[in-house]
Amino acid sequence: MTELRRPLGPVDSSLVPRFAGPATFARLPRLDEVGRADVAVLGVPFDSGVSYRPGARFGPSAVREASRLLRPYHPALDVSPFELVQVADAGDIACNPFDIGQAIETVEHAAGELLDTGARLLTIGGDHTIALPLLRAVARRHGPVALLHFDAHLDTWDTYFGAEYTHGTPFRRAVEEGLLDTEALSHVGTRGPLYDRRDLRDDRRMGFGVVTSADVMRQGVDEVVAALKQRIGDRPLYVSVDIDVLDPAHAPGTGTPEAGGLTSRELLEIMRGLAGTELVGADVVEVAPAYDHAEITSVAASHVAYDLVSLLALRGAHDAGSVPADASPSP
C-alpha cells in the first residue's frame, strides 16, 4: 500500500521571520526538496518579446519576494491550499534572452516535463510571449482548452515589425495552432486605443468575447463571473493574467500600462468566482519591477498568483476525490 505523505508546507513564520531566508513563492519548499508536486510554481524570467518597456525578466524574483507575506489559509475560498495538496516552487526556466524561437522551445519542453509528472502549473513571467509555449504544453495534455485572458490588450495581433512571436501575438498563434477551444475564449479588462478597427474584427473572427474594464465597472463582478463561467462550461480552462489588466494606480510596474483598468479587488473577486471550473493551468506575466513603487505591482501579482494556486489546489484535490466537485467560497 502506498504511504500517504502530508504535504510539506511553507516555512513557519512564527519560527523564521518572513524577511529571513530564501524567497521561494509563499516561502514554500523547492521542488527538489519534496520530489514531486501537485501544483508547481514556475518562473520564466524572459522579456525579449516586449514591444515597449523591458524588465519583466525580473518579474519572477520580484513576485516571489512580495509573496513572503502570504499566509497559508485563504478565507475567501475557505481553503488551506498548501495542506490540501503538495505545492512547491519549481524554480526558473533558463531561457535564451537572445533567441525568441529557442526560448519558446525551452519553455514548452520544460513545462511539458513538469506536466508529465502530474503537476498543474502556475507560471510567473516574464512577458506574455511565454503564454504560447505554455499553451502548447497544456494542450498536448488536455486538448484544446478554454482561455480566460485578463489584459488591457488583445494580444491577438499578427506581427510586430514582421516578427510572429512577441508578447502581443501569442493568442493569434495559439488559435492558428489549434491549441484553444474557440467556443470558449474571453478577454477581460481590455481598454485603450487600438491600431485599427480591424483589430476588433480579427479578434471576433478568432472567437474571442470581450469584457472591457468599463463592462466590469458597469455590470459588477458577480454578473461578469456568471457570464464567463457560462461561456467556459465544463471545458478544461487556462487562465492568463497580464498584470497590466490592473489600472496603473494598482500596477505601475509593467511594460505597457493603460489608464482605466481594473482594481486589484475586482480582479481578485473575479478570480475567486472561478471556483468549480476545470482549471488546468495559469500564468501571471508582465511584472516589470523597475517601474514599480513600494512593490505595489509585485504585491498585487503575488496575491493573484496565490488565488490561482488555491484554485489549482482545489481542482487537484477534487480530481483526487478529496473535496466535493462544487467546492466554492463560503457565504
Bridge partners, 287 (sequence order) = 254
Contact (CB, 8 A) for 316 and 40: no
Contact (CB, 8 A) for 302 and 263: no
Instruction: Of 156, 53, 103, 75, give the one whose Cα is nearest residue 329.
Output: 75
pLDDT digits (tens, 9 = 90+) for 232-264: 999 999 999 999 999 999 999 999 999 999 999
SS3 for 152? Answer: coil
Q: Which stretches of the chain drop beneath a pLDDT of 70?
A: 1-4, 323-331
pLDDT at residue 323 in the model: 66
Cell numbers standing for residue 149: 485572458
Separation CA 130–CA 118 (nearest Å): 21
Contact (CB, 8 A) for 190 and 152: yes
Separation CA 87–CA 229 (nearest Å): 26
Q: pTM (2 decimals)?
A: 0.95
* Residue type, position 315, single letter: R
Separation CA 19–CA 22 (nearest Å): 9
Separation CA 170–CA 77 (nearest Å): 31
Separation CA 250–CA 253 (nearest Å): 9
Separation CA 64–CA 278 (nearest Å): 26
Host H or E run for residue 194: none
pLDDT at residue 3 in the model: 47
CATH no. for 37-319: 3.40.800.10
pLDDT at residue 45 in the model: 98
Separation CA 258–CA 174 (nearest Å): 24
pLDDT digits (tens, 9 = 90+) for 276-319: 999 999 999 999 999 999 999 999 999 999 999 999 999 999 98
Separation CA 324–CA 175 (nearest Å): 33
pLDDT digits (tens, 9 = 90+) for 65-80: 999 999 999 999 999 9
pLDDT at residue 322 in the model: 73
- Does a cis peptide bond (omega within 30 degrees of 0) precede residue 112? no
CA 55 to chain centre: 18
Average pLDDT of every residue of the chain: 95
